[in-house]
Amino acid sequence: MTSSDPLLDKDGVRLTVEDAVATVTLTNPAKRNAQSPALWRALAEAGSSLPGSVRIVVVRGEGKSFSAGLDRQAFTPEGFEGEPSFFDLARRSDAELDAAIAGYQDGFRWLRRSDIVSVAVVQGHAIGAGFQLALACDLRVVAPDVKFAMRETSLGIVPDLGGTHPLVGLVGYARALEICATGRFVQAEEAERTGLANLVVPADELDGAVQDLTAALLASPRDAVIETKALLQGAAGRGFDEQRAAERA
C-alpha cells in the first residue's frame, strides 16, 4: 500500500503509510508536541488503523522537539475542553480512574506489538509523556540535542503511560530510579552509552539513518522478525531453560 493521503490526521497525530512502513507524526510543533488525552486516543486509533502490510512504525515529532510531555493545561482546574479535568478524575472511584488511565496507556501499548518494529526518531525535548512515548518504541534514533527527562515525580505524580518497564529494562533499576526521582536530563552521549539510544546521528542525517535502519529491518523475512521479537520480549521473565524451550518451540 502506498498513499500520500494520511489514514489519520486529528488531535495532533498524523498517520501515513508507504508500503510496509507507517509513520506516526506529532503535529503540534507550536506547543512542542505537548500531549493530551485526545492525542492519546488518536495514537490508539493510529495503532488500530494500521494495514496488515505494515512491518515498521516510525514515530516522530514536527519541529524542534519530539514532545515536551503533558500539556500543562491538564493541571488547571478546567483542564481540556470537553474532557474531565485531572481534578475531576481524582474524585472518581478507583475502578473508574484505573479504567481512564488504562485508556490513556492504549495510545502507547500497541507500539510493542510483536508483528511490528517501532522506531522513535527523537530530537530536542522528550520529557515525561514524550519520554514515555519514545520508550514505548522498540528502538530510538536520536539527534545530538536530545534531552530525555521523566518529570512526573517532581509534579507529585508517577510515570503511568507504560514507560517504567522499558526504562528499567534498558538502563537497570538503580539508574531508572535516579532518572525518575531527580527528573534530570539524559542527553545524547549518556543515552547511547546506557542503551536508551540505538543511534545518535547529526540532526540533518536523521532521515537517512532511519531509512537505512528501516531497510535493514525489512531485509529479514517478516515471520523470523516477529518470532525473534517475541522471544526477546519474553526473555527477561523466563529462566535460561525456559528460554531455551521457547527457542525450540
Residue 157 has pLDDT above 60, yes or no: yes
pLDDT band at 1 (very low <50, low <70, confident <90, very high): low
- Nearest one of 131, 100, 98, 109 to 57, comparing CA atoms: 109
What's the grid cell of residue 108?
502507547
- The two beta strands, 186-187 and 147-149, are antiparallel
Q: In what order do the strands lie in the sheet with 147-149?
A: 125-127, 147-149, 186-187
What pTM did the predictor assign? 0.94
What residues are paired with 142 via a beta bridge?
122, 200
* The domain over range 8-218 is classified in CATH as 3.90.226.10: yes
Residue 156 has pLDDT above 80, yes or no: yes
Residue 243 has pLDDT above 90, yes or no: yes
Task: Give me the torsion for CA of 45, 49, 165, 236, rounded to 10°.
Answer: 160
Domain boundaries, the chain: 8-218, 221-249
What's the grid cell of residue 73?
493545561
Residue type, 81: E
Residue 2 has pLDDT above 60, yes or no: no
Residues 224, 181: Cα–Cα separation, whole Å: 39
Indicate the range of 55-64, 87-96, 172-181, 209-218 predicted with least confidence. Answer: 87-96
Residue 204 has pLDDT above 90, yes or no: yes
